[in-house]
Structure 1
Amino acid sequence: MARDTSRDGLSNKALVYALSNFKPLWNLVQSYEPLKRKINKFFLNSIIYKIPTRPLPYSLMTLDPCIPGTNIPKKTDAYTSWDSLTDRTYTGRHLPPDPEFNKDGNLPEIKDLKVLFQKRDGKTIYSPKSTLLFPYWVQWFTDSFLRIDQQNRFKNTSNHQIDMCNVYGLTRKQTNLIRAFKDGKFKTQKLKRHDGVEEEYPLFYYADPENSIIDPQFEGLHAPLNDEKRQPPEKKAKLFAMGVERANVQIGYVMLNTLCIREHNRICDILSKNYPEWDDERLFQTARNILMVIVLNIIMEEYIFHITPYKFKFFADPEAFAKESWYRENWMALEFSLVYRWHSALPEKFIYDGKETPMYDSLWNNQMLIDKGLGALMEETCSQPGTRIGLFNTPDFPISGTPYTFIDATELASIKLGRQAQLASYNDYREMCGFPRVTDFNQITGDEYAQQKLKELYGHVDKIEFFVGLYAEDVRENSAIPPLVARLIGIDAFSQALTNPLLSPKIFNKDTFSPVGWEIIQNTKTVSDLVNRNVPPSDRKYKVSFNL
């Protein structure tokens, strides 16, 4: 059954149609630099200005019962204070709390919503567009800036930048613990894969994994998250000392961190050769700047291009946006965190070394990467599909050491957080983002089973919650994500990536990165570029792509 598109909005339809068609025209536009820059600026601004720009008038501070003298409001009494405008340890929010919408009895029991995420008849729906690299990349790079404080979920531990803290650490102290302080490099070791060829990896975190004794040189670094409960000694022995507590969580994460560590050290070698007078500190800091901009460019030009159906490829253009009203200090919002919870993109099983393997086996299992090697694992990852983002497709393997399953710990926990934060309804967020409010379930999805379940649980479209509505929408043709997800990502991601200090007009130049570093940046466009220059010499090029 086709979805009723009458509530998509004429201007929204026109924008999507124009960008998703006329490929020869867009190719022509992109071949002429001045016109390309003007079109890029026009479309990026048209996306970002769909909602009010930062500063955000509210944060989750107003709901925190831990602050003396505050209570969770019984009425819509959120207000703006100097603290709520400046204390970024509290997560921001786009719309004020709506206690009336979240009052007891208005919404379904959270446990009853599990059916919306469970696979229908146990069947996995695979993506027709995305390889498994796509969900691996998403988890890896969002973990560097979407960091909810586990002790107080209204707060965060984020630097509010795409700063690659997953590689470099959250603080200077943590960064220093993983630096070699020689030639600008990270501490690394050589490990043999199954065919005896050596590759470069971070050092191991534990000196004595049997007794959970860490290597003294890493005292003060984040301990690998929950490894005490989850990991046998043989797995703990292979956990790496890396920037954040989640960096060892899954082989995709470890693979991308390892890739960046190798690239950083490779850049240091090039810089050292060309600028022998530079000391260790300058080599490290310049290599870090170069790598961060490379990743920002990949996000803008390869990753964003993959998730949209558009024929025009957006790009970072530092000089174009510095005077825009949205060019403000970054502050991650809760809605942005929830919009990036793409657990349904991860399959129950994947192919490893030619064999079907439970995805659960790839958690905290660095030996899988060590045995196979970075290039071969990347290529195998990119030879198989990820799964479709949306309802009825989240894997539900058990979480070791807890009574919970993956759906309980991810999707239902996200709904619970949305209610604790008293988020407004799905329809309210559609309206905020420039979409007409839906009036019927068939305007959200053409899937009759999904319509039926949503109606049974919520009764009326106005009662659908933000998180559920995000993933109830159908994915557009040749896109990787549903429309409201895409809109919010475009607004938040573009406005927060393009404000990175390294992309400001006075910084984005050869003086900052060096002429050699500038050339590296200009000649690196894809993840494939990074992989194929950071693997042992081979007779062939590894195939690496977000696209099937």
Structure 2
Amino acid sequence: RNRAQCSVIFTAGDSRVNLFVGLSAWHTIFTKEHNRLVTTFKRLNPHWDGERLYQEARKVIGAQVQAIVYREWLPKVLGASFATVVGDYRGYDSDVDATVANEFTSAAFRFGHGMIQEFYQRLDTSFRNISFGALPFQKGTLHSDVLVNEGGVDPLIRGMFSQNVKRPQRVTTTVTENMFGSTDLSTINIQRGRDHGHPAYVKYRELCGMGTAFNFEHLSREILNTGTRNKLQEIYGSVDKIDLWVGALLEDPIIRGLVGPTVACIIGPQFKRTRDGDRFYYENPGVFTRRQLVEIRKSSLSRIICDNTNTISMIPREAFRVGHMVPCSQIPSMDLNQWREF
């Protein structure tokens, strides 16, 4: 759908803000968080000009995102392997190559395409469906007016933290048949891998320590379902022809994680390198003062949601874990007074 066909168009730093209303909602949340920080910093430091206010808020937002990714989100994706593969932060290492691996960006990190749901709940303050009902993914794709005209941000965000995650091992027909008309996102991912010159899935499997696979039965420890392995054999004929994105996505999840061992093997070390090779990583000494760092470590996605929505007052302590709801007043807040210049 082109711009002329849309009644609502959002502008953001990433053009994909209009791809799906869920993305639009999160852009809105973090834009409001930026503005909240700027407003507070202006009150605390009236002498700061607009550029200083922008840069300080931007720096804090970046730190919050890093804290949320490494403390809340990534451990749930990698499960038991997080502690050994990523581990605790030991400081900036100038010898680490933080370059993003081709396999990460063009295959493994696209596991999220398998987590797209067919319907997204939209819930009111009593956690009941709003009058518009659940949102079909297709309806929210390239259709930003849905966010404005059907309940706004809060019901969609409330539905997201109340709805169980879809494991990525199976891609819905919403993605393969209905996302962009006749375009199939899975086919795009497969072709992207071929364009980028990925070796076969079994080569990465071997590189990740799972041994050499000479036939489809050798995949049985990672891809448990016999029917799935038979389908792979029917389509590919030889294990040496399985595309990386396909094989890696089909693996059963690792212990307490969401992804299979090959995806974990690629994205885990990448996140470690990205963190350890970044001299501006928020926990690196000197990036923030000691007292500011104490406050940033209090940040959480739940707190950001509470601070930047109008009607959300009950939320899980951990936004990425469906569970018991608590009042927003019980979610720790950052003390921004630590940014006051005397």
Q: TM-score, normalised by structure 1?
A: 0.51
Q: Following TM superposition, by how much is the alpha carbon of 1:500 offset from its aligned partner in structure 2, in angstroms?
A: 3.0
Q: Which of 109, 128, 132 is the equivalent residue of 1:340?
A: 109
Q: Following TM superposition, by how much is the alpha carbon of 1:383 offset from its aligned partner in structure 2, in angstroms?
A: 1.6
Say whether residues 1:386 and 2:139 are aligned partners. Answer: no
Q: 2 CA distance for matches of 1:262 and 1:315?
A: 32
Q: TM-score, normalised by structure 2?
A: 0.79
Residues 441 and 455, structure 1, Cα contact 8 Å, conserved in 2: no
Q: 2 CA distance for matches of 1:392 and 1:398?
A: 12
Local SS of the residue matching 1:265: helix
Say whether residues 1:500 and 2:275 are aligned partners. Answer: no
Local SS of the residue matching 2:107: helix
Cα displacement string for residues 186-242 of structure 1 (whole angstroms, at most 9, x for unaligned residues): xxxxxxxxxxxxxxxxxxxxxxxxxxxxxxxxxxxxxxxx624xx63xxx3321121
Cα displacement string for residues 26-75 of structure 1 (whole angstroms, at most 9, x for unaligned residues): xxxxxxxxxxxxxxxxxxxxxxxxxxxxxxxxxxxxxxxxxxxxxxxxxx
Say whether residues 1:424 and 2:202 are aligned partners. Answer: no
**Aligned amino acid, residue 262 of structure 2:** L
Structure 2, gaps ≥5 residues long: 124-128, 323-342
Q: Aligned in 2, Cα 1:329/1:304: closer, same or farther, shift over 3 Å?
A: closer
Q: Aligned in 2, Cα 1:530/1:359: closer, same or farther, shift over 3 Å?
A: same
Residues 239 and 364, structure 1, Cα contact 8 Å, conserved in 2: no
Q: Aligned in 2, Cα 1:453/1:294: closer, same or farther, shift over 3 Å?
A: same
Which of the pair is proportionally richer in helix?
2
Structure 1, gaps ≥5 residues long: 1-225
Q: Following TM superposition, by how much is the alpha carbon of 1:281 offset from its aligned partner in structure 2, in angstroms?
A: 0.8
Say whether residues 1:349 and 2:129 are aligned partners. Answer: no
Cα displacement string for residues 50-101 of structure 1 (whole angstroms, at most 9, x for unaligned residues): xxxxxxxxxxxxxxxxxxxxxxxxxxxxxxxxxxxxxxxxxxxxxxxxxxxx
* Residue in structure 2 matched with residue 286 of structure 1 by the alignment: 56
Say whether residues 1:532 and 2:306 are aligned partners. Answer: yes
Q: Which of 14, 30, 45 is the equivalent residue of 1:244?
A: 14
Say whether residues 1:447 and 2:225 are aligned partners. Answer: yes
Q: Equivalent pairs: percent with the same residue?
A: 22
- Rg comparison, structure with higher value: 1
Q: 2 CA distance for matches of 1:373 and 1:387?
A: 23
* Residue in structure 2 matched with residue 509 of structure 1 by the alignment: 288
Q: 1 CA distance for matches of 2:202 and 2:285?
A: 41
Q: 2 CA distance for matches of 1:348 and 1:422?
A: 31
Residues 445 and 451, structure 1, Cα contact 8 Å, conserved in 2: yes
Residues 300 and 315, structure 1, Cα contact 8 Å, conserved in 2: no
Q: 1 CA distance for matches of 2:77 and 2:47?
A: 43
Q: 1 CA distance for matches of 2:34 and 2:294?
A: 15
Local SS of the residue matching 2:259: coil
Q: Aligned in 2, Cα 1:312/1:491: closer, same or farther, shift over 3 Å?
A: closer
**Aligned amino acid, residue 542 of structure 1:** I
Local SS of the residue matching 1:542: strand
**Aligned amino acid, residue 71 of structure 2:** E
Residues 121 and 156, structure 2, Cα contact 8 Å, conserved in 1: no
* Residue in structure 1 matched with residue 40 of structure 2 by the alignment: 270
Say whether residues 1:474 and 2:252 are aligned partners. Answer: yes
Cα displacement string for residues 427-458 of structure 1 (whole angstroms, at most 9, x for unaligned residues): 21123233322342423312111011112222
**Aligned amino acid, residue 337 of structure 1:** S
Q: CA RMSD in A?
A: 2.7
Residues 7 and 145, structure 2, Cα contact 8 Å, conserved in 1: no
Local SS of the residue matching 1:336: helix
Q: Aligned in 2, Cα 1:379/1:498: closer, same or farther, shift over 3 Å?
A: farther
Q: Which of 297, 320, 332 is the equivalent residue of 1:546?
A: 320
**Aligned amino acid, residue 480 of structure 1:** L
